[in-house]
């Protein structure tokens, strides 16, 4: 089993930046894809970005493309999400997740593809 723990959330003004981290603890064998999702109050969980573990290929939702960067540090077993040019609509609880889908599969945005989930870290963006 693997435990995912997010950190780095906080409050920022529109146009600002934040970097989220997701540390993985435990036996992570079989996780081939890591992703970030977010959920705002009253809305469904939304896919943000994914990365192929070890391979580096990345995928982004159109709403964050060019502003957010997903990356990983395999030596530290840590996933990152660098967020820049933040907008009020980016405010949400952000979750990291792990999937056994090789290469993140053809649809990395599907929440059902992710078996492991963290507890989330809150991001607030004021206008």
pLDDT in tens, the chain (127 residues): 889 999 999 999 999 999 999 999 987 778 899 999 999 999 999 999 999 997 679 999 999 999 999 999 988 999 999 999 999 999 999 999 999 888 888 899 999 999 999 999 999 999 9
Q: Are 91 and 124 in contact (CB under 8 A)?
A: yes
pLDDT of 122: 98
Residue 102: the pLDDT is 85
Query: Which stretch of DSSP H or E encloses residue 5?
Result: strand 2-7
Structure token digits, residue 119: 């507890």
Mode of pairing for the β-strands spanning 78-83 and 114-117: unpaired
pLDDT at residue number 106:
87
Nearest to 92 by CA among 3, 11, 2: 11
> 100, 72 in Cβ contact below 8 A?
no
């Amino acid at each position: 089993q693997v435990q995912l723990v997010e950190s780095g959330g906080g409050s920022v003004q529109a146009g600002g930046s934040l970097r989220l981290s997701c540390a993985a603890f435990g036996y992570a064998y079989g996780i081939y894809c890591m992703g970030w999702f977010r959920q705002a109050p009253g809305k469904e969980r939304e896919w943000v970005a994914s990365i192929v573990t070890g391979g580096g290929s990345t995928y982004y939702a159109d709403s964050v493309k060019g502003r957010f960067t997903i990356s990983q540090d395999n030596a530290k077993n840590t996933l990152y999400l660098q967020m820049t040019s933040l907008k009020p609509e980016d405010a949400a609880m952000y979750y990291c997740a792990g999937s056994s889908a090789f290469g993140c599969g053809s649809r990395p945005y599907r929440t059902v593809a992710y078996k492991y989930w963290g507890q989330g870290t809150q991001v607030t963006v004021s206008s």
